A = this chain, B = another copy of it.
Amino acid sequence: MTVHGRPRRTARRVRITGCGIRPGLLNPRPPEEPMKSVQLYDTTLRDGTQGEGFQLSMLDKLRIAQRLDAFGVDYIEGGWPGSNPKDIEFFQEAKKLDLAHAKLAAFGSTRRAGMAVGDDPQVRLLLEAETPVVTIFGKSWDLHVTEVLRTTAGENQAMIRDTVRHLKTHGREVVYDAEHFFDGYKASPEHALATLKAAAEGGADVLVLCDTNGGTLPSEVMQICRAVTEAIPGTPFGIHTHNDCELAVANAIAAVKAGGVQVQGTINGYGERTGNCNLTSVIPILQLKMGIEVVPELEQLKSLSYFVDDVSNNPHFARAPFVGRTAFAHKGGMHVNAVQKLARSYEHIEPGAVGNTQQILVSELSGQMNILLKAEKLGLGLEKGSPEAKSVLARVKDLEHEGYSFEAAGGSLELLIRKETASYEKPFELKEFHTSYRLYRDGHDPVCEATVKVHVGDEAEYTVAEGRGVVNALDKALRKALKPFYPEIAEVSLLDYKVRIIDGHDATAAKTRVLVVSGDGKSTWGTVGVSENIIEASWIAIVDSLDLFLQRHRAKLPQTETV
């Protein structure tokens, strides 16, 4: 079964009628497009945004929705109109999206206790979103029915049944999210199953079992899912997990093994508390490990992951499975050696399958091989055994001995290689700099000042700048000096700055290592400086950063992500 090269859906698929939907099929499909055995349901835009540090504007949501659709996700839960008025607007705007495949879902709650479903304003909002799919959640745990909803089991089940039926009558595909299902089942299996049955009776297209608290173990998930399929064989089930035990992905996989047809989650695992099920990990597991094809171009996975991070202004998690920068990075000398001999021996999948690359980290544990590979990846071609290669290697070893570390400072390493190989031209010559910091304890603001003398060709620049700190002042003074010659410098900003003391236990010989991460809005690169004092170390890292930028700019190379 392949999903490659499937035809674009026509616009009329945006409205799915309720008629003719057979149990077991989520929606009718043209014969040339076989049903996937597992549907991907993305709630990045809704459940994801309930997490801290993950906020999206209207434009962000629309952009993400388009990327999700292009990637092959089946459902996009766009928001909760009854809870967030901005989401009402989103669903209006979203109608203009030309989605090729994914179906938009509006999320909300069952009708209120004691209220007719037709009178419930929140349910009305769900219909007014005019999405093909509506997802509602209901209480499965008797504890919540009595203590939180303050109603009876019977009324709760009526709430579920009525709301599902109402939405089906209005032509919606209905996804029923059984909140706290696993805790509820453990507390009272009969009660939990009764709530599911109510949804099934209402006509729900799928029953999604939610591990809302994130505390269930995979073996329990497997067992309870099986109990559900036995008790309610007529309606397919799905899974919605949370990562409170670091088991969200494992729980989703367990549910699929038990027969689940839908996995709900978010890109990069964003979400409340510890996050939702991380689709970025589930998707490649399904496709590469379990032989269940879910997306047409899995190689777009890393790009999608990075996109969602960037749009939400979050850093990329370097150690993220599959898509992380270091997911396939080898450091230990032993591993690196073996990798050369047998690429697959230390990689569980081929990195390119998810759009990632093998990264070689240069560190005290590795040798010449790493440098050559790094140069090759940068397109700088060092000949093995050549004078240049030996020179680079010797320089790297010396610097590492002095305390340099190039692991997160691939930019400095690249610059070093360029200095030995390509036609490197020094863009500026530093003559002198000075920093001054005066702190008064009697109310005056502290004063941080830096002066810089640089030469560019025959011309000299002598500048002064103030800053929030001496390194900031120095950085500003340097840029001030270079700007007349290299206006493009304005694109570069300092994004991160880390300092470590090396061999701090002997303070006399202690050195300071500064790592600077810079970016130009399109990519980032790391540079490093080491010195006995922090200002000179910072200076070295900052100068390297601008130097590298200018070298690539001159060579009209794209600024690339350098590890």
A interface residues with partner B (beta carbon < 8 Å): 50-53, 55, 57-59, 83-84, 141, 143-144, 147-148, 180, 212-215, 217-219, 243-247, 249-250, 253-254, 257, 269, 272-275, 278, 281, 284-285, 289-290, 313, 315, 317-322, 324, 326-335, 338, 341-342, 345-349, 361, 364-365, 405, 407-408, 429-442, 446, 448, 467-472, 493-505, 507, 510, 512, 517, 531-536, 539
Contacting A435 at CB < 8 Å: which of B218, B335, B437, B531?
Answer: B437
Report yes or no: B439 in contact with A436, Cβ–Cβ below 8 A.
no
Report yes or no: B215 in contact with A319, Cβ–Cβ below 8 A.
no
Minimal beta-carbon separation of A379 from chain B (angstroms): 23
- A356 and B407 CA atoms in complex are apart in Å by 33
Report yes or no: A289 in contact with B215, Cβ–Cβ below 8 A.
yes
Contacting A331 at CB < 8 Å: which of B51, B317, B499?
Answer: B51
Which residues of the other chain, B, contact A441 by a CB distance below 8 angstroms?
A: 429-432
Contacting A442 at CB < 8 Å: which of B243, B320, B432?
Answer: B432
- A437 and B141 CA atoms in complex are apart in Å by 61
* Apart from A213-B347, A275-B319, 20 more pairs, CB < 8 Å: A51-B331, A57-B502, A84-B364, A148-B345, A217-B290, A218-B253, A245-B249, A245-B289, A272-B326, A272-B330, A274-B326, A313-B498, A434-B436, A435-B435, A437-B535, A468-B532, A469-B512, A469-B532, A469-B533, A470-B470
- A212 and B332 CA atoms in complex are apart in Å by 13
Which residues of the other chain, B, contact A320 by a CB distance below 8 angstroms?
A: 274
State whether A468 and B57 are in contact (beta carbons under 8 Å apart), knowing that A285-B245, A501-B497 are contacts in the complex: no
Contacting A315 at CB < 8 Å: which of B57, B313, B331, B505?
Answer: B505
Report yes or no: B361 in contact with A52, Cβ–Cβ below 8 A.
yes
CB-nearest residue of chain B relative to A148? B338
Interface-centre pick from A217, A494, A502, A505 (highest chain B CB count, 10 A):
A505
Minimal beta-carbon separation of A35 from chain B (angstroms): 24
Minimal beta-carbon separation of A30 from chain B (angstroms): 33
Report yes or no: B289 in contact with A539, Cβ–Cβ below 8 A.
no
Minimal beta-carbon separation of A526 from chain B (angstroms): 10
- A304 and B345 CA atoms in complex are apart in Å by 34
- A338 and B53 CA atoms in complex are apart in Å by 22
Contacting A407 at CB < 8 Å: which of B52, B495, B531?
Answer: B52
Which residues of the other chain, B, contact A531 by a CB distance below 8 angstroms?
A: 469
Report yes or no: B505 in contact with A495, Cβ–Cβ below 8 A.
yes
- A275 and B144 CA atoms in complex are apart in Å by 38
Report yes or no: A499 in contact with B498, Cβ–Cβ below 8 A.
yes
Report yes or no: A214 in contact with B331, Cβ–Cβ below 8 A.
no
Report yes or no: A143 in contact with B345, Cβ–Cβ below 8 A.
yes
Which residues of the other chain, B, contact A317 by a CB distance below 8 angstroms?
A: 317
- A498 and B147 CA atoms in complex are apart in Å by 41
- A55 and B500 CA atoms in complex are apart in Å by 10
Minimal beta-carbon separation of A477 from chain B (angstroms): 12
Report yes or no: B247 in contact with A348, Cβ–Cβ below 8 A.
no
Contacting A345 at CB < 8 Å: which of B57, B144, B329, B510?
Answer: B144
Report yes or no: A432 in contact with B437, Cβ–Cβ below 8 A.
no
Which residues of the other chain, B, contact A315 by a CB distance below 8 angstroms?
A: 505
Which residues of the other chain, B, contact A539 by a CB distance below 8 angstroms?
A: 439
Which residues of the other chain, B, contact A246 by a CB distance below 8 angstroms?
A: 249-250, 278, 281, 321
Report yes or no: A365 in contact with B84, Cβ–Cβ below 8 A.
yes
CB-nearest residue of chain B relative to A430? B441
Report yes or no: B147 in contact with A342, Cβ–Cβ below 8 A.
yes
CB-nearest residue of chain B relative to A349? B215
Nearest 7 CB-CB pairings of A with B: A215-B348, A469-B533, A250-B250, A499-B499, A496-B504, A213-B348, A246-B281
Report yes or no: B52 in contact with A329, Cβ–Cβ below 8 A.
yes
Report yes or no: B55 in contact with A328, Cβ–Cβ below 8 A.
no
- A487 and B430 CA atoms in complex are apart in Å by 43
Contacting A253 at CB < 8 Å: which of B212, B217, B274, B497?
Answer: B217
Which residues of the other chain, B, contact A289 by a CB distance below 8 angstroms?
A: 215, 217, 245
Which residues of the other chain, B, contact A147 by a CB distance below 8 angstroms?
A: 341-342, 345
Report yes or no: B144 in contact with A338, Cβ–Cβ below 8 A.
yes
Minimal beta-carbon separation of A328 from chain B (angstroms): 6
Which residues of the other chain, B, contact A319 by a CB distance below 8 angstroms?
A: 51, 243, 269, 273-275
Report yes or no: A244 in contact with B321, Cβ–Cβ below 8 A.
yes
Which residues of the other chain, B, contact A431 by a CB distance below 8 angstroms?
A: 440-442
List 26 A-B residue pairs with CB atoms under 8 Å apart, sorted by A's residue number: A50-B331, A51-B331, A52-B408, A57-B503, A57-B505, A84-B364, A84-B365, A143-B342, A214-B348, A217-B285, A217-B289, A218-B253, A273-B327, A274-B324, A275-B319, A315-B505, A435-B437, A436-B437, A446-B536, A469-B532, A469-B534, A494-B507, A495-B504, A495-B507, A497-B512, A499-B534
CB-nearest residue of chain B relative to A429? B441
Which residues of the other chain, B, contact A335 by a CB distance below 8 angstroms?
A: 272
Report yes or no: A333 in contact with B533, Cβ–Cβ below 8 A.
no
Which residues of the other chain, B, contact A143 by a CB distance below 8 angstroms?
A: 342, 345
- A401 and B470 CA atoms in complex are apart in Å by 24
- A512 and B217 CA atoms in complex are apart in Å by 40
- A243 and B320 CA atoms in complex are apart in Å by 9
Minimal beta-carbon separation of A354 from chain B (angstroms): 11
Which residues of the other chain, B, contact A285 by a CB distance below 8 angstroms?
A: 217, 245, 247
